[in-house]
Amino acid sequence: MRNFILGKTGITVSELCFGALPMGPLQKKITTDAGAKIILKALSGGVNFIDTAQLYQTYAPICKALQQTTIRPVIASKSMALDYDGMRTAVIESLQQMGLDYIDIFHLHAARIPEDENVFKKREGAWQALLDCKKQGLVKAVGISTHSVPTVRLAAVNDEVDIVFPIINKTGTGILQGSTEEMETAINLCRQQNQGVYLMKALGGGCLVSDYHSALSFVRDKFPLPIAMGMVSEQEVEYNLAYFNLDGNEFETLPELVIEKKCFQVVEFLCKDCSPCITTRPKHAISKVSAETKPTINPDLCLRCGYCVGFCPQFAIRMT
């Protein structure tokens, strides 16, 4: 498997990054033991990079996996904290819950940013907390995780940003305030500044899994960069390892691709018709047909990220 150095940080990571979001309570709700087993299979296969977040609630399986191996992977996390104290607490929480002395990468978790908003100014206290944690050795590199083209452009001209974690895929699914081509240009601006970049949602949050080879080839042909892939079974790990270890396009040597389709639905009898799911949804995936109806999720717009699950106070949004 190819390895890459993340820009000026000197941090070396595998091309395949283990995305921890889908195994957590926002999606598949995999147990700690089962999650640790899946992570260990990836680590033993050559993956040395894990991406998680405070919101994902997946620190426990990562911690358990680390307790059962001598491999110390590069770990990235992120927080949606808005102020200094909240972000510093998030960093300390990640260290404590994963049993770490330091975390390699910590991001401002800023997936959905309004077009006219500068997240580094809007959340200035949170960003300063990350910079201070870096100075104190609690964090090695700081960055931004985002779906927004303007935010990636802002990151490219911010000398304090070490790492950028943007969305990119061939259909433009989930990209905000811009097209796929505009996101490509923004990503290349970051690379020109020698910022570390790794990529999310090459399969569109699962929307493109049936077009796996074409979707990944689109991203890999454009960018020699690590790609975070969500994995929820040992079979998915095996397939991704085989694919990322291919020498050329010998797809016939790959194991069978197991496609786990997933979608989210609003359970009407639980829904209280409040607003958090609608105000936090990406790409207008959740909406109301009329004032009298309950919110519904458009499967063609849904990223399958599960963020809405965490924001619903009634637990009325379920994966099916």
Q: Which domains does the chain have, with CATH numbers?
A: 3-253 (3.20.20.100), 264-319 (3.30.70.20)
Q: Which residues contact 56 (CB under 8 A, 6 or more apart)?
A: 20, 21, 24, 26
pLDDT of the residue at 173: 84
Q: Which of 99, 106, 160 is nearest to 133 (CA)?
A: 106
Q: Which residues contact 315 (CB under 8 A, 6 or more apart)?
A: 270, 309
CA angle 32, 37, 40 (to 5 degrees): 120
List the helix and strand counts (H, then E) for the chain: 11, 14
Q: 65 and 43 in contact (C-beta within 8 Å)?
A: yes
Residue 66, pLDDT above cutoff 90: yes
Q: Are strands 317-319 and 103-109 parallel, antiparallel or unpaired?
A: unpaired
Residue 191, pLDDT above cutoff 70: yes
Q: 285 and 295 in contact (C-beta within 8 Å)?
A: no
Structure pTM? 0.85
* Mean residue pLDDT across the chain: 89
The one-letter amino acid at 197:
V
Specify the residue for token string 């020699």: 224
pLDDT of the residue at 27: 81
Q: 293 falls in which pLDDT band (50, 70, 90)?
A: confident
CA distance 115 to 151: 8
Ranked by mean pLDDT, the top range of 14-28, 60-74, 102-116, 173-187 is 60-74
Cβ neighbours of 306 (radius 10 Å): 22
